[in-house]
Structure 1
Amino acid sequence: MILIIFQCMLFLIRTRAYENLALQRPAWQSHDYHGKETEWGAAKAVDGKYIDRSSGGNQCTISANDEPTATWRVDLGGVVSISVISIYYRTDNSPNPGSFSSRFVGFFLYVSNTTSKDDGHLCFHEIQNVTGTPIENQLISCSVHGRYVIYYNERKPGVNYPSYYSQHAYNELCEVEVYGCHDPKYYGDNCDQLCSEGCLEKTCDAMTGHCLNCLPGYQGLRCDELCTDQKYGQQCSLQCGNCSDGEACNHVNGTCPWGCDEGVDGDECQTPCLPGFHGKNCGQNCSENCKVTNRCNRFTGECDGGCKPGWRIPTCQEVCPRGYFGINCQDSCTLYCGRNGSCDRITGICDDGCMEDWSGPLCGTAPKISDWSHWTGCSATCGGNGVRHRFRTCTGVCTHIALNQSGNCGVQQCPIDGSWGAWGGYSSCDKSCGGGWKLRFRKCNRRSPSHGGQPCYGDSMQATGCAMIHCPIDGGWSTWSDFGQCSETCGQGVQIKSRTCSNPRPRYGGRGCVGPNNASKSCQRGECPVNGNWGSWGHFHPCDMSCGGGLQLRLRECNDPPPSHGGLPCPGQSVHAVPCNTDQCPDQMNATLSSNDLFG
Structure 2
Amino acid sequence: MTLGKIKEDDFFPNKFWVQLEASEPSESKQEVEPYDFTHFEMLNPTRLRYYFVLDSEPIDVGKFLLGEMSVIQLNPYYTDVSETGFVKWVKEPDNLTLIQTTSTVLANRTSAIEIDGLLNEDFGNIRAIVYDFLPGIPGKVMIAQRLFNLRKDISKVCKGSQNAKNCVCNTGFKGNGIHCIDQDECIEGMPLHCLPDAKCINTYGSYVCQCPNGYEGDGLYSCMDIDECMRDLHQCSPRAACINTLGSYVCTCQFGFFQEGNECRATSIWTPWSPWSLCSVTCGSQNQMRIRICTNPESGMRCEGPTSDLKPCSSLRACPVDGLWSEWSPWSTCTVSCSGIKRRIRVCNNPAPSSGGQSCLGSPEEIAPCNNDNCPVNGMWSPWAPWTLCPLTCGLGVVSRSRHCNNPPPVSGGTPCPGHGYEEGSCGFPMDYCKYVPKPPESIMPGRLIQ
TM tier relative to shorter chain? under 0.3
TM (normalized to structure 2)? 0.25
Greater Cα radius of gyration, structure 1 or 2: 2
Q: Please identify which structure carries the higher strand content.
A: 2
